[in-house]
Amino acid sequence: MFEKVLIANRGEIAVRILRACREMGIRTVAIHSTSDVDAMHVRLADETICVGPPPAQDSYLCVPAILSAATISNADAIHPGYGFLSENADFAAMAEEHGFAFIGPSPEHIRMMGDKITAKKVARENGIPVVPDSGGTVKDEKSALDAAEEIGYPVLVKASAGGGGRGMKLVATPDELPEAVQTAKSEALTAFGDNKVYIEKYLGRARHVEVQVLADFYGGVVHLGERDCSLQRRHQKLLEEAPSPALNDDQRHEIGGIVVAAMEKIAYRSVGTVEFLYEDGAFYFIEMNTRLQVEHPVTEMICGLDLVREMVRIAAGAPLGYGQEDIRLSGHAIECRINAENPVTFIPSPGRVGDYHAPGGLGVRVDSAIYSGYNVPPHYDSMIAKLIVHGANRNECLMRLRRALDEYVIDGLETTIPLHRRLLADPAIINGDYDTHWLEEFVSSDD
């Protein structure tokens, strides 16, 4: 097992990883920018190294500084968390070349899934149903029009290198398509350094359902059920739940089995999430995330496994030690993402936290890195906490979540807590009857 792990991240996920390492008897090295000297992950780590100034480009994304920090601290392994360098195949490869274990998938798998056109091809070839698309890059106006005609309007123009909900354009009619392709290409080049775009069928009433997998170096693969992440604003998830209210056990086992078989074929390792849109009883692959996800705790709450611990064990060469028949999913879990944002306008609200009181009690988990007196810096993501609640069934989970949200006090900042309270009073949420467009309509009805 590793003796020391460097955590190449900040915020709640750095604390989450640090906790798992500490429980495993592994020492931790926190890296931080100059604006994060007082951050919780820095306070809790065994060793800390400043890697640069506040802009992420110069600190949390600065590969030479991070590899130097790993070398100086004599770490055995690097955990990238999510965001930042977690899906950067070159970083994973460089970490390994410098003698550090990368706690994640192989650089080849990260690269394969990081390009959406390649990812869809691999998925299709390995028996995973995919969203109908142009079958590769659209090069010119004519091939775009032909592909869209065959798929049927409306269509989405998507950047192959896209991510974080960016790089998608909805096109309703052929006359809008040429311009959408041109703008998508130039925006993709600016945002992702790659102008490849493709066309995909637009699913107007779909749910976002994603399957969590865990795989070791020796062909052991299990799935841990699915999460429903349909509640999104601008393609960004706000509330996630497991299991999905839309699936029954047969559908769950069927899609889980398809995903496991594909992961076995491509010899995947570590954690991964295969994302689908689900409409009219059919699954359509959209992409695979080759990292730990923000919403992983809802899966942990229903399966009882510590996913970070499993990632560390796998990276250290341990076999899973259990099979699909040993995985038991129990009860229901929901996660609310609490962002430092105005709950109506979504304008970020960084600043100093005043009084702080986190909820507790049976089945309540708070993953956060804030504390009273902490100054939320303006340079990074606005998510400051995740409230995760588990109940014996969905109804108990909803009641407990309402109670926990009512207890939560975060003074000094605007947060999305009032929005979550309103969501949990809405019949659509109570009945689990919502799709990927529902939240957008719910928040725009405020205007």
Q: Give the shortest CB-164-to-ligand ADP separation in angstroms.
A: 5
Catalytic, out of 291, 313, 337, 365: 291
User: Is 240 or 306 the residue whose CB approaches ligand ADP more closely?
Assistant: 240
Q: Give the shortest CB-59-to-ligand ADP separation in angstroms.
A: 24
Options 33-41, 87-95, 161-169, 348-356: segment touching ligand ADP (CB under 6 A): 161-169
The residue from 30, 203, 238, 320 that contacts ligand ADP (CB under 6 A) is 203
Options 11-19, 160-168, 182-190, 356-364: segment touching ligand ADP (CB under 6 A): 160-168
From the number of C-beta atoms within 10 Å of its C-beta (0-12, 13-18, 19+), residue 191 rates as: middle
91-116 per-residue burial string, b: 16 or more CB within 10 A, e: under 16: bbbbbeeeebbbbbbbbebbbbbbbb
Q: Which residue's Cβ lies closest to ligand ADP?
A: 436
Q: Are 250 and 312 in contact (CB under 8 A)?
A: no
Contacts of residue 237, Cβ cutoff 8 Å, sequence gap at least 6: 208, 229, 231, 294, 295, 337
What tokens does 274 get?
């295969």
Q: Give the shortest CB-133-to-ligand ADP separation in angstroms.
A: 8
Q: Are 113 and 259 in contact (CB under 8 A)?
A: no
Q: Give the shortest CB-347-to-ligand ADP separation in angstroms.
A: 22
**DSSP letter, residue 100:** P
Q: Is 200 in the site for ligand ADP (CB under 6 A)?
A: yes
Q: Which of 288, 286, 287, 292 is nearest to 305 (CA)?
A: 292
Number of residues that bind ligand ADP (CB under 6 A): 20
User: Is 70 or 277 the residue whose CB approaches ligand ADP more closely?
Assistant: 277
Q: How far is CA 387 from CA 98, 230, 417, in A?
A: 37, 17, 10
| Residue with tokens 């915020």, as numbered in its chain | 11
Q: Is 88 in the site for ligand ADP (CB under 6 A)?
A: no
Q: Are 432 and 393 in contact (CB under 8 A)?
A: no
Q: Which of 263, 289, 260 is nearest to 274 (CA)?
A: 289
Options 92-100, 202-210, 325-333, 386-394: segment touching ligand ADP (CB under 6 A): 202-210
The residue from 79, 169, 196, 208 that contacts ligand ADP (CB under 6 A) is 208
Binding residues among 53-72 for ligand ADP as defined by CB under 6 A: none
Binding residues among 357-376 for ligand ADP as defined by CB under 6 A: none
Q: Give the shortest CB-212-to-ligand ADP separation in angstroms.
A: 15
Options 200-208, 261-269, 310-318, 371-379: segment touching ligand ADP (CB under 6 A): 200-208
State the first-to-last Cα distance of the chain, in angstroms, to the nearest integer: 54
User: Is 197 or 277 the residue whose CB approaches ligand ADP more closely?
Assistant: 277
Contacts of residue 33, Cβ cutoff 8 Å, sequence gap at least 6: 10, 50, 51, 52, 53, 54, 55, 56, 58, 59, 60, 379
Binding residues among 103-142 for ligand ADP as defined by CB under 6 A: 131
Q: Are 307 and 300 in contact (CB under 8 A)?
A: yes
Contacts of residue 411, Cβ cutoff 8 Å, sequence gap at least 6: 353, 354, 355, 356
Q: How far is CA 45 from CA 20, 239, 358, in A?
A: 12, 29, 22
Dihedral sign for Cα 22, 26, 27, 30, please.
Answer: negative
Options 66-74, 80-88, 104-112, 201-209: segment touching ligand ADP (CB under 6 A): 201-209
Q: Is 349 in the site for ligand ADP (CB under 6 A)?
A: no
User: Is 81 or 162 the residue whose CB approaches ligand ADP more closely?
Assistant: 162
Per the annotation, the verdict on 252 as an active-site residue is no
| Residue with tokens 């637009």, as numbered in its chain | 202
Options 203-211, 376-384, 388-396, 404-412: segment touching ligand ADP (CB under 6 A): 203-211
CA pair distance 319, 172, nearest whole angstrom: 49
Q: Give the shortest CB-33-to-ligand ADP separation in angstroms.
A: 25
Q: Are 269 and 102 in contact (CB under 8 A)?
A: no
The residue from 64, 99, 127, 164 that contacts ligand ADP (CB under 6 A) is 164
The residue from 2, 82, 100, 202 that contacts ligand ADP (CB under 6 A) is 202
Binding residues among 228-247 for ligand ADP as defined by CB under 6 A: 232, 235
| Residue with tokens 């902490």, as numbered in its chain | 374
Binding residues among 257-296 for ligand ADP as defined by CB under 6 A: 275, 277, 286-287
Q: Is 436 in the site for ligand ADP (CB under 6 A)?
A: yes
The site string for ligand ADP over 293-312 (x = CB under 6 A, - otherwise) reads: --------------------
Summarize as ranges the residues that interact with ligand ADP (CB under 6 A).
Answer: 131, 156, 162-166, 200-203, 206, 208, 232, 235, 275, 277, 286-287, 436
Catalytic positions? 291
